[in-house]
Chain A
């Protein structure tokens, strides 16, 4: 239970204090100490953590561009290497553009002023349909089949459609990118009326998650070794953006590994009719 908060300090009971320490949010916790029968949790400003990471993520591709250009300017570089270097420059620039776009998404989600006010209901069934159509060509390239299983009807609900799209698109894109060729991607829609949420699941057969992956998969810039092989140019921000977007919309996100190498990512959307 959280009693209140002021600036970067949260006043809460013991179980809430444990939650901050144990759920992976501890990266933001500066210190915790008992206070007035409860606990005071001092939080790091998350923005103060992201800047060193962003600088680090930019340095390697910028060095890659610098050295590629130096080699191209050299007289001794053979023609076949020049072609490779130009391809390298092109791929690195694409990566930097994606990184900047992802960082802008993170910034918008984390900034309260960046969010649009939710004044009307969103037709999430239509959003899901549109996003599936958008990503179907990518799935078709890998001969993957997208299957939609609807266990309940989705009524329009008051949520931010951009945030919803951000979660769904990142999860579906990952399922396609890291799923095996010729496999099925199963999207399930269900509800838990006792919790007042819709639950959307995206299941794929592909890269198994290691113990380290399970711990860090929603962390900024984290990419498993296996993911780097399948998709070398990823930014490591997709699942962080998905998590942040799901939570900003009042929901939650988690994953389950199933037998046979399948992984299902779930997220919830609150059912709000007003």
Chain B
């Protein structure tokens, strides 16, 4: 079973995303802050990180910088799923090597999970 590390600070969205991913057959490790996610990455490597950008404390980009600077986590597959996306943010995300950048309200949850599945499976 493949594992997704979900980092999303909105409790309601976190529950819904975890629910949908689990229904799709994934093991979901859910965290509400980047700070809470980092200790997990010291012990385990998920197949994909589903990352929100607007997080309390360390934001999504600071988290990306941290994991890309660590030899153990530098090659992790990451998708950003955010409420908004300026061209500057998308450009910065590409510099950090994210697999894709999705704006939440543009997708149905089913569509997002399908797209993420393609990314995990190497498409």
Contacts and interface: CB of A to CB of B under 8 A. Distances in A.
Contacts of A71: 16, 19-20, 109
A62 B23 contact: no
B83 A59 contact: yes
A77 B57 contact: no
B12 to A, nearest CB: 4
Main secondary structure of the interface of A (DSSP, over half): helix
A272 to B, nearest CB: 41
Closest 7 CB pairs of A and B: A59-B83, A67-B109, A64-B12, A63-B104, A60-B10, A67-B16, A64-B13
A70 B108 CA distance: 7
B57 A68 contact: no
Given A64-B16, A77-B23, A91-B12, A70 B109 contact: yes
Nearest to A232: B11
Contacts of B10: 60-61, 64
A56 B84 contact: yes
A81 interface: yes
A88 B56 contact: no
Main secondary structure of the interface of B (DSSP, over half): helix
A85 B110 CA distance: 15
Contact of B16 (A56, A85, A91): A85
A67 B13 contact: yes
A74 interface: yes
A76 interface: yes
A74 B110 contact: yes
A70 B33 CA distance: 26
5 contacts: A59-B104, A71-B16, A71-B20, A224-B56, A228-B11
A252 interface: no
Contact of A88 (B12, B54, B109): B12
B3 to A, nearest CB: 21
B89 interface: no
Given A60-B104, A67-B13, A92-B12, 10 more contacts: A56-B83, A60-B83, A61-B10, A62-B105, A66-B108, A67-B16, A70-B110, A84-B15, A84-B19, A228-B32
Given A59-B104, A59-B105, A62-B105, A68 B23 contact: no
Contacts of B17: 67
A225 B57 contact: yes
Nearest to A92: B12
A110 to B, nearest CB: 24
B56 A63 contact: no
Interface in B1-34: 9-13, 15-17, 19-20, 23, 32-33
A71 B108 CA distance: 10
A61 B12 contact: yes
Contacts of B15: 84, 88
Residue of A64, A81, A88, A228 contacting most chain B CB atoms (<10 Å): A64
Interface in A49-101: 56, 59-64, 66-68, 70-71, 74, 76-77, 81, 84-85, 88, 91-92
